Homo-oligomer: A and B are copies of this chain.
Amino acid sequence: MLRNVGLRPTRQRVALAKLLYAHSDRHLTAEMLYMEATNQNLPVSLATIYNTLNQFARMGLLREVGVDGSLTYFDTNTSNHHHFFVEDKNEIRDIPTTDIVIGKMAELPDGYEIARVDLMIRIRRKR
C-alpha cells in the first residue's frame, strides 16, 4: 500500500497505517493518533505523525477534514461523502452518501474546476 503510492514502508509509517486502518471509517486528529500510538508503546514523535498524516492525505490514502478555523481531522474513508460535526462533542461522523443529494450544482467561474466539495452539517443537542 505504501509502496504503491511511493512512500517507503518505514517502521513508523507501517505502524501508523496499521492503527489507522485497523477499524474502518475513523476520524482522527494528529494528537489523537499520537496518543493512540503512545498508549501502545509505539514510539513515534508528534512531528512524524504530522508528516505522515499529511503525506498520506497528499497521496490519497486519507481525506483531510478541516473543522472551524482550527482543527484538522483525517478521515480514513476517502470516498465521496459528507460529515456531521457534533458541536458539543467535537466529533466528526460520516453521513452515508445515500442520505444527501446535492440537487442543482452551482456553475463555476470560467476556467475553474472543482477541487473538492465539502459539506458539513453542524449539529447540536436539542434544547
Contacts and interface: CB of A to CB of B under 8 A. Distances in A.
Interface of A: 64, 66-72, 82, 84, 86-87, 93, 95-96, 99-109, 111-126
B105 A102 contact: no
Q: Is the interface of A mostly helix, strand, loop or mixed?
A: strand
Given A66-B70, A84-B106, A117-B120, 10 more contacts: A66-B67, A69-B72, A99-B104, A99-B106, A100-B102, A101-B104, A112-B123, A112-B124, A115-B122, A118-B120
A11 to B, nearest CB: 27
Contact of A108 (B103, B116, B118, B123): B123
Given A115-B87, A123-B114, A101 B100 contact: no
